[in-house]
């Protein structure tokens, strides 16, 4: 969530970090999580969420904002 929040603060209109198995394990069984067959449908849908395949991954932030 922090990374998505930072993208918005940086001027983006949306931020997406694809969920992983740790995220799914955290959500499973939570009070607001889908139940039964709804969980399976949601899980399948969420697994399809991903970043653009052609976008490069940058492990370090090297971009600099121009000074005004």
| Tens digits of residue pLDDT in 14-24 | 777 788 899 89
What b/e sequence results for 25-53 when a residue is b if at least 16 CB atoms lie within 10 Å of its CB, and e otherwise? eebeeeeeeeeeeeeeeeeeeeeeeeeee
**31-64 confidence digits (pLDDT tens):** 999 998 999 999 999 998 877 777 766 655 555 6
Question: What's the pLDDT at 66?
Answer: 67
């Amino acid at each position: 969530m922090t990374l998505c929040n930072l993208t918005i603060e940086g001027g983006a209109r949306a931020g997406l970090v694809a969920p992983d198995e740790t995220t799914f394990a955290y959500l499973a069984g939570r009070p607001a999580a889908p139940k039964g067959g709804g969980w399976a449908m949601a899980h399948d849908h969420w697994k399809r969420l991903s970043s653009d395949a052609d976008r490069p991954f940058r492990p370090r932030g090297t971009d600099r904002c121009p000074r005004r």
